[in-house]
Amino acid sequence: MDGGGMRKVSSHCSIPEIDDFDLSKLLDKPRLNIERQRSFDERSLSELSIGLNRVSVENFDHIYSPGARSGLDTPASSTRNSFEPHPMVAEAWDALRRSLVHFRGQPVGTIAAYDHASEEVLNYDQVFVRDFVPSALAFLMNGEPDIVKNFLLKTLQLQAWEKTVDRFKLGKGAMPASFKVLHDPVRKTDTIVADFGESAIGRVAPVDSGFWWIILLRAYTKSTGDMSLAESPECQKGMRLILTLCLSEGFDTFPTLLCADGCSMIDRRMGVYGYPIEIQALFFMALRCASAMLKHDAEGKECIESIVKRLHALSFHMRSYFWLDFRQLNDIYRYKTEEYSHTAVNKFNVIPDSIPEWVFDFMPCRGGYFIGNVSPARMDFRWFALGNCVAILSSLATPEQSMAIMDLIEERWEELVGEMPLKICYPAIENHEWRIVTGCDPKNTRWSYHNGGSWPAACIKTGRPQIARRAIDLAETRLLKDGWPEYYDGKLGRFIGKQARKFQTWSIAGYLVAKMMLEDPSHLGMISLEEDKLMKPLIKRSSSWTC
């Protein structure tokens, strides 16, 4: 929603000297070509419980040709085309390469925005973990995996830092929200400062970073066939540490992950405190990715066992309680309240009067979605793009639910897409509600939203590339002309965001990824997981084909 924050970069981390670590040693060139065609097997839970000793591979049956690297300035994807690439593609690659960040001569990431015109750089000159994901996918699809490997290793080293906020020590597994490389031209040294939330506005911990890291590790492995990275003791430990943070026992009665507001993509108050859909979907996906990559050795085994249990409980909870379609809405509308005991239908005691007016008009007869949040006596009915798309990609959504989510996007195109794909959240909060929920945040004003980037992949997975094409056509009329803004404003997204940075890397990379994915849908495998048959939903109704 916002345009970043007034944070100054400084790190209070005590830094063990890990920066002397020579990245190049770890950079044994991944085996491209033949081995690139092999990939992780999405192990089903049954296989997992049998126990495999090492990460397994499978042969891809379908043709998978990520294209050999054809020189730094020539995107492999456009040379591979049988048709003329859109002129924007070359421009986008140039812009993406301009955003590269180097550490001791090696590319390790991309900065959030390369906007020299903006007076306020804030932390937009940093490499954000979440922002790097679309860049990483673009590089992987273009046959340039080294930068992704460097990034994964660099952030892994940062995880090992001792992290403190004031006098409080953060969990070992926490991954940074962002990092910055400081070049000293005189001493010719590079050092890194990282932000784990101790510099961030509101001091929020980036809960999403660790999940993105695991998801990216799998994407790298799937794309290159190079399993040595995921199998290395460092990466195995990194995964275990991230998951230990989320799988530890507490006072929870739900399998979902309790989070502070602003803990992920919308890194400011947006009323997502509780169990935000985005984090739950990323959590689910990271658990599934990790379960495929963790070794069944002494340390990994226990972790895998907790993952399997959590996946079962999480998918049941999400598919049952977060899912909303016409019929479910009608049921909630007629809920009785104050029910006690196991037989309660209205388990969370949701008071029907708390259902917002807009949702009755918004809900089409055909379609459905995972709502924003579910906790005692509170359902946030807002629609969030990222959580729903990740639910499709990770198969948290059943095939029927995935179809229903796409139906909803088609039915509510004007509201959700408008003139600029795609709103990250619908509807906007206004007036008094905005004051209460965001704490009067001027960066979070109504109808001022980020673009979502992950959904073309979800369109392809659900067999609707035409919707992605339609959205990309819209984007192509403006993105380049407007200087790749961070987001658009207005109900239809007609205006360049008030505080949007220009040359925002995720707008550039998101466009490239969408283009390459449409050209060669086999890229989808990098960020998509097939349905696990053993996680079949226990609920009978998952989509609404009738009103």
Q: Binding marks (x or -) toward ligand GLC, 88..127, rule CB under 6 A?
A: ------------------------x-----------x---
User: Which range binds ligand GLC by CB under 6 A, 1-9, 355-363, 401-409, 488-496?
Assistant: 1-9
According to CB under 6 A, which one of 43, 130, 412, 502 is a site residue for ligand GLC? 130
Spatial CB neighbours of 441, under 8 Å, sequence gap ≥ 6: 2, 268, 269
Query: Is residue 267 close enough to count as binding ligand GLC by CB under 6 A?
Result: yes
Residue number with CB closer to ligand GLC (122 or 294): 122
Residue number with CB closer to ligand GLC (2 or 519): 2
Strands (E), 413-455: 425-426, 448-450
Query: Is residue 278 close enough to count as binding ligand GLC by CB under 6 A?
Result: no
CB of 125 to ligand GLC, least distance (A): 10
Query: Is residue 270 close enough to count as binding ligand GLC by CB under 6 A?
Result: no
Q: Residue 543 has which token pair?
A: 């989509």
Query: Is residue 363 close enough to count as binding ligand GLC by CB under 6 A?
Result: no
According to CB under 6 A, which one of 4, 173, 367, 427 is a site residue for ligand GLC? 4
Burial class (CB in 10 A: 0-12, 13-18, 19+), 172: middle
Residue number with CB closer to ligand GLC (124 or 321): 124
CB of 319 to ligand GLC, least distance (A): 27
Q: Binding marks (x or -) toward ligand GLC, 214..253, rule CB under 6 A?
A: ----------------------------------------
CB of 141 to ligand GLC, least distance (A): 21
For the chain, report the end-to-end CA distance as a whole number of angstroms: 34
| DSSP letters for 45-89 | HHHHHH--SS--EEE--S---------TTS-HHHHS-SSPPPHHH
Return d(Cα 249, Cα 353) in angstroms, integer.
34
65-95 as b/e, with b when 16 or more CB fall inside 10 Å?
Answer: ebbeeeeeeebbbbebeeeebbebbeebbeb
CB 57 within 8 A of CB 38: yes
Q: Residue 242 has which token pair?
A: 């991230």
Return d(Cα 164, Cα 170) in angstroms, integer.
6
Q: What are phi and psi of 215, to 5 degrees?
A: -65, -40
CB of 266 to ligand GLC, least distance (A): 6
Inter-CA distances, 141 with 137, 145, 335, 450, 523, Å = 6, 8, 48, 24, 7
Per the DSSP assignment, residues forming a β-bridge with 504 are 113
Residue number with CB closer to ligand GLC (128 or 488): 128
CB of 259 to ligand GLC, least distance (A): 15
Q: Which residue is nearest to ligand GLC (CB)?
A: 112
Inter-CA distances, 251 with 163, 260, 316, Å = 25, 16, 19
Residue number with CB closer to ligand GLC (5 or 418): 5
Return d(Cα 528, Cα 461) in angstroms, integer.
8
**Pick from 200, 202, 180: which is nearest to 192 by CA?**
180
According to CB under 6 A, which one of 40, 103, 128, 362 is a site residue for ligand GLC? 128
How many residues make contact with ligand GLC (CB under 6 A)?
10
Residue number with CB closer to ligand GLC (110 or 373): 110
Residue number with CB closer to ligand GLC (128 or 196): 128
Q: What are phi and psi of 537, to 5 degrees?
A: -70, 150
CB of 4 to ligand GLC, least distance (A): 4
Q: Binding marks (x or -) toward ligand GLC, 131..160, rule CB under 6 A?
A: x-----------------------------
CB of 422 to ligand GLC, least distance (A): 15
Query: Is residue 2 close enough to count as binding ligand GLC by CB under 6 A?
Result: yes
Query: Is residue 274 close enough to count as binding ligand GLC by CB under 6 A?
Result: no
Q: Where are the alpha helices (DSSP H) in 142-206?
A: 146-159
According to CB under 6 A, which one of 13, 55, 265, 508 is a site residue for ligand GLC? 265
For the four alpha carbons of 221, 227, 228 and 233, in that order, the dihedral sign comes to: positive
CB of 149 to ligand GLC, least distance (A): 22
Residue whose entry in the numeric block shows the structure tokens 């598919």: 319
Residue number with CB closer to ligand GLC (264 or 388): 264
List residues near ligand GLC by CB under 6 A. Answer: 2, 4-5, 112, 124, 128, 130-131, 265, 267
